[in-house]
Amino acid sequence: MRVASVGDLRPYTYTDENGEFTGFDVELLEDVAGRIGVEEVVFTGQDFSGLLAAVANGQYDVGAAAIGITEERQQTVDFSEGYLAGFLSVVTPKDSDIASEEDLAGGRMGVVQGTLQEAYAVKNLPDTELVRFPDNNAAISALNSGTVDAHFLDYESAKKYVEQYDLVSAVEIPSFDAPAGFAVAKV
């Protein structure tokens, strides 16, 4: 089974110190594959923005990266049943004045291109300049260098970056109606 994934989406999919994919999505998909008799599962890293297209065109059998199931995405690919629902978080440096969604107005916020966070920000934060990145690592680097004022990502991934880079989770979005699922090509 050929799986398109993302290498920096802790704790869902990421590469360990040996360059091997690991994380919740990886372990869950490997378990499911074993149960249906698939002996080999090969994960390949990819920018999130191109992941669904790569699955849709048959380059990969499955997309696994805590992919939110939305009506728009269901026009391109099919999904497994949802297995994960989560919260969203905006992380900032500790000395930031950002403490609410309103405080983001007029600022620059990083988002990973093609994610639910990008879609949410476009719809709900029109006065915030969005700076699009290929992955969370690039966005966090921009945050740490001062290129952006904040970065918008899922809550579980945010916890890891907050701990690793001494940031704060300044704004939490309490709910978002898009459970994650595995993407597969339409039949």
Considering the domain architecture, whether residues 34 and 96 belong to the same structural domain is answered as: no
Reduced 3-state DSSP string for 23-85: CHHHHHHHHHHHHCCCCCCEEEECCHHHHHHHHHCCCCCEEEEEEECCHHHHCCEEECCCCEC
Domain residues for 70?
2-83+178-185
Considering the domain architecture, whether residues 71 and 152 belong to the same structural domain is answered as: no
Considering the domain architecture, whether residues 159 and 123 belong to the same structural domain is answered as: yes
The structural domain count of the chain equals 2
Q: What is the pLDDT along the chain (187 residues), one digit of tens a residue?
A: 999 999 988 889 999 999 999 999 999 999 999 999 999 999 999 999 999 999 999 999 999 999 989 899 999 999 999 888 778 899 999 999 999 999 999 999 999 999 889 989 999 999 999 999 999 999 999 999 999 999 999 888 899 899 999 999 989 886 566 789 999 999 8
Considering the domain architecture, whether residues 56 and 109 belong to the same structural domain is answered as: no
Query: What is the domain-level CATH number for residue 142?
Result: 3.40.190.10
Considering the domain architecture, whether residues 166 and 92 belong to the same structural domain is answered as: yes
pTM: 0.74
